[in-house]
Amino acid sequence: MNVKQILESLGLDKHPRVVLGRDPGSGYAMTENPATGEPLAWVKLDDAAAYEKEAAGAVESFKAWREVPAPVRGQVVRAIGDALRAKRDALGALVSLEVGKILAEGVGEVQESIDIADFAVGLSRQLYGMTMPSERRRHRIQETWHPLGPIGVITAFNFPNAVWAWNAMVAAVCGDTILWKPSLMATLTAIATNSIAAQVAESMGHPGVFRLVIGTDDVVGHRLVADKRVPLISATGSCRMGKAVGAAVAQRIGRTLLELGGNNAVIVEPSADLDLALRAITFSAVGTAGQRCTTTRRMIVHESIADAFVARLAAAYRTIKIGDPLAEGTLVGPLVNARAVEGYHHAVAEAIKQGGTLVCGGKAAKPAGLAGHFVEPTIIRAPASNRLPISDDETFAPILYVFTYKDLDDAIAMNNRVEQGLSSAILTNDVRSMERFIGPAGTDCGLAYVNLATSGAEIGGAFGGEKETGGGRESGSDSWKAYMRRQTATINGGRELSLAQGIRFE
Ligand code: NAD
């Protein structure tokens, strides 16, 4: 599909807030094709009044939606999943076009949204509460989970479809309405995705459940975060954003679900299957051009195998095809914009200044006929001291820093020494090492992988990280509880008034 076909197949060429082919001036934001550096479209921004209309609408729609039985809400989500299935390839291509991930990953992202819709349909019949024995005769206590309210969903550019779905599909079966503020770098994907969900829900008699507010952080982002009508802000993005959003929501004693930056390491043991390790680490470090929150950014490899393994990895890196993300055979597309390329060059230069050795990569890449934001996947070895301060930061680019270790406990300490705590992995065939790594004195991250690298989570588990990654959990398992309010009801089924703790009040 070419650009025109992709936009047309999703109705974006006729969408009232999308302008193609000319800059309409102020009040619009340009969304760029990162592979070419050219504008894809201009998207109308919401002002304060437009935000107010959507926020007030989300409150009104919630009043009806919360009383729709949860399994009926599940049927709406099932239909949204089917609509996403029907549009999967076009939507996946739009993700590739707008944020530059290769087509297989763009389509895979939409598949993830379909998977979470399926999960949420089942969940709609399993929003279980508990009952517990009362200490009083003929009394009982029950916990019930009720819908929470309009949920604010703030998303990062790099998963412009799936992160919304993790939140929206689950929140919708929980009885919440969704007010989505996407990244300004991925507005077309947001418009196409939200239109699909909103149209399905409306056609089934539930208008206004899925809402979109597009605007600058100053006008829309800060309003949403400060809005007392929105009891939960689920925000995905950088640690810097999470610190600002977390503090602002805490000011009004609202709830947050924070999914922030990662700085993920793999430990490679001498016992590991090194062929498997090579493939797993290459995908995880280089895939999505290093722009996943779970990208492998640090490799901690046993000193006895380090030289040979790094040489093999570098040889694999040199075979990777960089180019048009929509073309078959491409493994690495562009970074999202020129600022990301600057961040990459800065990190490479700093690492070398700090004593690192460039093993491969380190430069802008220039695939034929494309003037976009391409860089070479890069490996940098830390000095013998194992200190490389730049590696403590998350640089959103395909840079892998290599450290060596002698003793597994030292490797685990290196894994844990950064501020972020999202994902981690060990490649080993030693069962004791595995147990140590995933045990209470092991990795401090929310996600731990064994004989895999750090990216590629499935939707069934709770997803999220500790420390500056924010502590939130989304997607599978019991993450749904974040989107509901718990009520503990004590019911007296007898004729007597008896007080708890045996208190007499005659
Ligand atoms: P970003 O922090 O620049 O922006 C993320 C979103 O937050 C955008 O929609 C932005 O407009 C909004 N935002 C920023 N400041 C805000 C404020 N003060 N108030 C309200 N909204 C605000 O991140 P990005 O560059 O789009 O994405 C990359 C980052 O996201 C990386 O750090 C990556 O690790 C992280 N990420 C984390 C996860 C996860 O699940 N942990 C998933 C994807 C991306």
Q: Percent of the chain at pLDDT above 90? A: 99
pLDDT at 58: 98
CB 259 within 8 A of CB 293: yes
CB 325 within 8 A of CB 101: yes
Fold matches, 3-260+470-487 and 264-458: no
318-329: average pLDDT: 97
123-135: average pLDDT: 97
Mark whether 109 is an active-site residue. Answer: no
Give the closest residue to 105 by CA, choosing from 336, 365, 330.
330
273-302: average pLDDT: 98
Average pLDDT, the chain: 98
State the Cα–Cα distance between residues 350 and 77, nearest whole angstrom: 47
Q: Percent of the chain at pLDDT above 70? A: 100
In terms of CATH, what superfamily is 264-458? Aldehyde Dehydrogenase; Chain A, domain 2 (3.40.309.10)
pLDDT at 506: 85
CATH architecture of 3-260+470-487: 3-Layer(aba) Sandwich (3.40)
Pocket flag, ligand 1, residue 161 (CB < 6 Å): no
**pTM for the whole structure:** 0.98
Tell which phi-psi region holds residue 28, choosing left (phi > 0), alpha (psi between -120 and 50) or beta.
beta
DSSP secondary structure letters along 437-473: HHSTTS--SSEEEESS-S----TTSEE--EETT-S--
Tell which phi-psi region holds residue 463, choosing left (phi > 0), alpha (psi between -120 and 50) or beta.
beta
Q: Which pLDDT tens digit goes with each residue over 58-91?
A: 999 999 999 999 999 999 999 999 999 999 999 9
State the distance from the centre of ligand 1 to the C-alpha of 457, rounded, in angstroms. Answer: 19
Q: Which pLDDT tens digit goes with each residue over 228-267?
A: 999 999 999 999 999 999 999 999 999 999 999 999 999 9
Q: Which pLDDT tens digit goes with each residue over 390-446?
A: 999 999 999 999 999 999 999 999 999 999 999 999 999 999 999 999 999 999 999
Pocket flag, ligand 1, residue 471 (CB < 6 Å): no
Q: Atom 42 (ligand 1): residue with closest C-alpha?
A: 293
Pocket flag, ligand 1, residue 159 (CB < 6 Å): yes
Within 181-232, where are the H helices? 187-203, 222-226
Atom from ligand 1 closest to the CA of residue 220: 20
Mark whether 202 is an active-site residue. Answer: no
Domain regions of the chain by residue span: 3-260+470-487, 264-458
Confidence check: pLDDT of 146 > 90:
yes
